Structure 1
């Protein structure tokens, strides 16, 4: 691999390492919030979970949904908790107690050192509820909604800057599902009203729920045609799973993500050209992850419970390898993907799991995400990679090596992330043209495990270890990548 100091893709927007907390399953109740837990603070939030979230260094959390959003009245989650209504959540067929609402979540976000990516309901609601929510959250005072916020204990505005215009409105499963024209018009007018309240906010328009939707492409073209000048980002959602139980096929799913991003970028730019616009729409990949382990067990859960264990995938080693490939893919597109939200954060298809009577622990996918979030800050460099390839049924050339590098000149550091998709040791040669490496701070590898090995409560065996299998010769770094491995190499550099 050749790394050129002059060949830069983009500065990484920290929001690329966002996550997602939806009112579903045990994400909120029994996840971030559990007043009767030994580690709970005065507000009822689990501090053991908070500690792990801080380790992930998540700068942005999308809230409160998800499918839950499309039937949610935000007013149900404000005011005295004892007066809040219990409601049916039709999306997941559970009961929502509304013990945690806007104020509580904002307090959790503040203590966790993250920002809120707020979503407005464009399923059962629309312009009025959305603009009122912006006024409640962001207006200084002297109006009905801003003064009500103060009465409810929040004197200063929440100052929420990133907002989603609904959720997966193309999906027939969505409450208030709409055609592209219906949604495009509603989103356009809602966006106008929201920005009249606060012109500083940024808005995310719903793209397709996944790239294999029958309306994919046409949906993007239509909704962008309506709302292009009013919005700032277009969303993408995609989940992956090893349904075929075919490792080579599974580890190539990041190429599918790459194609998805390229296709949506092309559509955005086509509408830009059509409208003769000077504005570029960037992307928010605000739902992405691995999701398939829990499908059968979810079918057995009885409806109308509070916080049942939904979508509690237990991840294994091969999942961590794919997650590393997906993270590298997002970094490759840092010029256009400015926001991404790993869905979700706790218990629900999440890197963090909890026992309601015991501890919180790290799933296998925790480690690659934490390493990239903490050390993938700076400018992404565009590498020239030579690698042998293999073929799958949908990709003729899947490289055994997946890699990207990020230079952080403020920290005098070059960080290389790499996945060896192959089952043989790989000689990885890194030629850094224009970058003087003075030493190796850390060479961490996640490798040597059975591909189905999991982390469970009390058994955290799948975790990174340090390697010294490298040799540094000036601007050339020679590294041994073990078979089927996720790797992070932190290099000190001369500025």
Structure 2
């Protein structure tokens, strides 16, 4: 059995984790909204038509912020169509996913849903086919108390108190040629700057997210960030990152190494933000909003067929990836990566939440909701990853994969919740062939006792969950012992581990 060693010390602080790194995303795409969070004819739904079983699972995940309404959808979103009496709302051709948007759920209904879910809205703006005036109008509608055209419109629509949405995304993936209203770097930089200036005149308390590169492979990365931030630096607070991964070559070891690419992506964006700060002799850091991340590749061929050959359906089944055990391990590795950058990554959204590349699925035939494999690492991180992130000192064997070198067998981070006197160690054994003994020096955590060791493991990398059959689920094991500040743990090959201690 291979061995890794780790030192965890209270003094090795990275940052307090912003709870919003455990956010998610609901887009008007496929069955995310209709049949996902909203199904008025179902006996499983409440008086507002919202699925109660889905709401309970969202609460179990403890999602603090949800990005809405897109995604690519937002670049042709006419927000006025989504408010007011439902019977008066128009149906529209939804161009991003070539679907029919019936506007049965809109801005105010979604705000009500987030309240029921114990979450907040992160609102994305249409800077593709619309612009500055529209951004100001929707902000006035949502956040101004009353006495103006759009705030009074909200009140007439039955919403007396403002929504007070604090986080606004200035468009979506504006560097992507697939995006409606795609912009060049200079075009978007100017638009983001002027939109941000205008919006903060209306509500100076809001936080604004500028579009970064759509993924690490974009040909304009990181010049896009450097150019657009050169315009918008003084007026925005965050820059976005988006990245999806897939095991397209059926190489599990190389798949598990992709979290190293995510780490490098984050480091490169931080470096670019700091370059702009230095260039402008600025005083503030631009922090990061990793507001789209997940595994996504299983459903691509089916999606292409629906959008190309069967367009203009209402809520067609799109992007319904069924996740494997190995997908859950990479999701855990991506969560560890986000936590390791808690000093600069202040928000993140697993894309998405229900049915569309999601941890929660609803049965297409009216049955109950069920949990995908990726539900569990996300739940553990959100539940136990609140507190100060500590940087572990790790000594571990390494291995090479097809496209990566010096991949560490152990990937780990720990979070110290001072208020609850709890320490949680998140650890993945990325070695797919051998178990690992992990010896952790905890001498600075005097008085802490081991409470549980949770593991997600399987000998079948392609094992999936389905409605009524949960084959991949966490369990508590007796594989850790604590003696005199020395924690000894056995991590099975290709496993997600959550080791919890309490004072």
Which of the five TM-score ranges fits, normalised by the shorter chain? over 0.9
**How do 1:350-365 residues align onto structure 2 when only pairs under 5 Å count?**
350-356=358-364, 357-365=366-374
Q: Counterpart of 1:321?
A: 329
Q: Counterpart of 1:400?
A: 409
**How do 1:230-269 residues align onto structure 2 when only pairs under 5 Å count?**
230-269=235-274
Render the CA deviation track for 1:28-54: whole Å, top value 9, x for unaligned: 001000001111111111001000000
Is residue 437–residue 474 contact of structure 1 (8 Å, CA) maintained in 2?
no
Is residue 458–residue 472 contact of structure 2 (8 Å, CA) maintained in 1?
no
Is residue 437–residue 491 contact of structure 1 (8 Å, CA) maintained in 2?
no
Q: Counterpart of 2:340?
A: 332
Q: Please state how far the C-alpha of 1:299 moved relative to its aligned partner.
A: 2.1
Q: Counterpart of 1:460?
A: 470
Is residue 124–residue 176 contact of structure 1 (8 Å, CA) maintained in 2?
yes
Q: Please state how far the C-alpha of 1:244 moved relative to its aligned partner.
A: 1.0
CA distance in 2, matches of 1:42, 1:333: 41
Of 445, 462, 487 in structure 2, the residue corresponding to residue 477 of structure 1 is: 487
SS at match of 2:394: coil
Is residue 390–residue 415 contact of structure 2 (8 Å, CA) maintained in 1?
yes
Is residue 97–residue 306 contact of structure 1 (8 Å, CA) maintained in 2?
yes
**How do 1:7-406 residues align onto structure 2 when only pairs under 5 Å count?**
7-301=12-306, 302-356=310-364, 357-406=366-415
Q: Which runs of 5+ in 1 are unaligned?
A: none
Following TM superposition, the consecutive aligned residue runs of length 4 or more in structure 1 with deviations greater than 4 angstroms are none
SS at match of 1:341: strand
TM-score by length of 1: 0.99
User: Aligned residues, how many?
Assistant: 493
Of 425, 449, 452 in structure 2, the residue corresponding to residue 442 of structure 1 is: 452
* Alignment RMSD (CA, Å): 0.8
Render the CA deviation track for 1:383-436: whole Å, top value 9, x for unaligned: 000110111243211011110000001111000000011121110111013112
Is residue 449–residue 462 contact of structure 1 (8 Å, CA) maintained in 2?
no
Q: Which runs of 5+ in 2 are unaligned?
A: 1-5
CA distance in 2, matches of 1:125, 1:180: 17
SS at match of 1:223: helix
Render the CA deviation track for 1:164-186: whole Å, top value 9, x for unaligned: 00000000000000001001101
CA distance in 2, matches of 1:449, 1:109: 38
SS at match of 2:139: helix
SS at match of 1:68: helix
SS at match of 1:9: strand
Is residue 44–residue 368 contact of structure 2 (8 Å, CA) maintained in 1?
no
Render the CA deviation track for 1:113-139: whole Å, top value 9, x for unaligned: 000000110000000010111111111
SS at match of 2:311: coil
CA distance in 2, matches of 1:466, 1:449: 17
CA distance in 2, matches of 1:260, 1:469: 34
Is residue 96–residue 306 contact of structure 1 (8 Å, CA) maintained in 2?
yes
